[in-house]
Amino acid sequence: MAVTDPRKDPARNVPATLASLLDEGRALLGTDADAMIDLRQLVTGISGIDRARQIIDPEQSLSEAAATRLRRAFYDRAKGIPVAYILGARGFWRHDFRVTPDTLIPRPETEILLEWALELLSVDDQVTVADLGTGSGILAVCLAVERPRAMILASDLSAGALKVARENQQTIVPSHPIHWFQGNWADCLADECLDMIVSNPPYIPDDDPHLSTGDLRYEPRTALAAGLDGLDDYRVLFAEAVRVLKPGGHILVEHGFDQSAAIMALLTQVGFTSLITRSDYAGLPRTTGGHKPGR
């Protein structure tokens, strides 16, 4: 379906009701449930009108400027651009995080990883925790909020991602310093300096057809795909983790729903023990952890 850029149709850049704008959005995106979720999110994010007010008062008028921004957002979504990139933000845990095409879009499954880390760390623990491959900084920032006595380190190979992560820290938890490093996993860290590693590495095989569909088309490929089996970065990460974790230190990672056995095997090969896999909200095995022997 051809999509007309609203900037090239001056007749449409006029004040309109919310209902008429939603009709325009449906004409571009369709009328199924997913399309309506996208439309409602875009209306809330751009106009500030929450879902309840959208339903209660659909005939409310929007300013010309708001109508133009919404039409532009509908057009961008019709082209396939993810809602999170259009709005520049995505909710995670209890916070709204800035995201850009330099970063992955936060997903609910990663909250399982965060919850597990928080279970292992008490509020009073003075420990050192690293979020390796931090992306937009969601894990590092949330850990800093929830465990203020911990020292939080975070690394990423992408300068663009680290810029976004720093901005999220300054917005959400400016009083807690997070130590940011540009590098490949733990290569910039000293031996046995960490009590815990949390990480959500790339885990999609390079030839997976899903990389060419949906939102994944717009997310950074280096943060999604990792070799023929999707496990290349885990091999590097786990070898580094043995070096930088203190004896008794924990590693917790997210992975694909069908990769738990392979992840456990890789962790075992480098010496991690007490391995456990946890499932996500859909009952799929998505996080695995273990600890380095010695304590």
Domain count for the chain: 2
Could you tell me if 216 and 141 lie in one domain?
yes
94 is a domain residue: no
Binding residues for substrate: 200-203
Q: How confident is the model at residue 102 (pLDDT cuts 50, 70, 90)?
A: very high
264 is a domain residue: yes
Q: In this structure, what CATH number is given to the domain that contains residue 250?
A: 3.40.50.150
86 is a domain residue: no
H/E stretch holding 17: strand 16-17
Distance of alpha carbon 158 from its chain centroid, rounded? 15
Q: How confident is the model at residue 7 (pLDDT cuts 50, 70, 90)?
A: low
135-147 pLDDT per residue, tens:
999 999 999 999 9
Could you tell me if 61 and 115 lie in one domain?
no
Q: In this structure, what CATH number is given to the domain that contains residue 26?
A: 1.10.8
87 is a domain residue: no
Its domain, for residue 60, covers 15-79
Domain final residue, candidates 79, 109, 130: 79
Binding residues: 133-137, 156, 185, 200-203
Q: In the predicted model, is pLDDT for residue 179 greater than 80?
A: yes
268 is a domain residue: yes
Binding residues for S-adenosyl-L-methionine: 133-137, 156, 185, 200
Q: In the predicted model, is pLDDT for residue 268 greater than 80?
A: yes
Q: In the predicted model, is pLDDT for residue 32 greater than 70?
A: yes
10 is a domain residue: no
∠ CA 78-83-88, rounded to 5°: 130
85 is a domain residue: no
Give the pLDDT score at 9: 52
Could you tell me if 137 and 236 lie in one domain?
yes
Q: In the predicted model, is pLDDT for residue 4 greater than 70?
A: no
